[in-house]
Amino acid sequence: MTRIEELARRLDDAALNACAIAQMDPENRLSIEEAYAIQAASIARRIERGETRVGVKMGFTSRAKMLQMGLSDVIWGRLTSRMQLEEGGTIDFASFVRPRVEPELAFLLKRPLRGNVTAAEALAAVEAVAPALEIIDSRYQDFKFTLPEVIADNASSSGFVIGPWNAPSTDVVNLGLALTIDGRLVQAGSTAALLGHPLRSLVAAARLSAAAGEPLQAGWIVMAGGATPAEWILAGQHVSVEMQHLGSASFHVR
């Protein structure tokens, strides 16, 4: 087993068993390329277990967060079938290390999208848009990680819930949204937080996935990124996002 495969195995086991692991690279020696190779190898293990690839998640899509992390680009992760949770369904708190939730916008693609595309080309590939929730769950102890470590850890992605699909003609540039937990407003924001325009996130997804040799496919979902800071979630809670014009998505935590 190569070092990349060994690190991928550690992360895969941590996600599978909801058991945190120590940082693998506290001195920040892993390159970004190695980090994505570890991510790819850990997702390959899931595919070997029968999961299918269903799309891409974008991370650090708010300019403020990017600057805070000293980044000049977004990061991305891979979505698999097992990560998609039923809308309005129940998730098991014990199946996560220490989960958080963020409100997102999701795109469904009707045709492949690869490389350097314009916003108009990206929009022309969109079948539908939906309000969504991403469950993020860093597999590292005490939620401490470097940038390569979080990339290797599939950009902390753990699950996602998609609300109703809407026509792609819906203007998504500045939709108000409210994240509530047990009916209490915990975050309010706008889809404009996503790189100033959510389509920029889809354009970045097309560029980064193609560069990795895995161009976006028809039928794939692209989670465009968190529109507000993430919130911790606990067993017993009901989590919901309501997005202007698009509807809502929710789940319970058992």
Q: Note the residues at the interface with Mg ion (CB under 5 A).
A: 102, 134, 226
Query: 163 or 225: whose CB is closer to ligand 0L1?
Result: 225
Query: 1 or 143: whose CB is closer to ligand 0L1?
Result: 143
Interface with ligand 0L1 by CB under 6 A: which residues? 59-60, 136, 138, 150, 155-156, 225-226, 230
Query: 14 or 83: whose CB is closer to Mg ion?
Result: 83
Least spacing, CB of residue 136 vs Mg ion, in Å: 6
How far is Cα 175 from Cα 182, in angstroms, rounded to an integer? 22
- Position closest to ligand 0L1 via CB: 59
Residue 148 binds which of ligand 0L1, Mg ion, none (CB < 5-8 A, kind-dependent): none
- Contact of 243 with 161, CB cutoff 8 Å: no
The two beta strands, 176-181 and 184-190, are antiparallel
Least spacing, CB of residue 169 vs ligand 0L1, in Å: 27
Query: 108 or 155: whose CB is closer to ligand 0L1?
Result: 155
Specify the long-range contacts of residues 90-94, CB closer than 8 Å, at least 24 apart: 90/251, 90/252, 90/253, 90/254, 91/135, 91/159, 91/251, 91/252, 91/253, 91/254, 92/253, 92/254, 93/233, 93/234, 93/235, 93/253, 93/254, 94/18
- Contact of 55 with 38, CB cutoff 8 Å: no
Least spacing, CB of residue 141 vs ligand 0L1, in Å: 13
Least spacing, CB of residue 218 vs Mg ion, in Å: 23
β-bridge partners, 55? 79, 221
Least spacing, CB of residue 1 vs Mg ion, in Å: 30
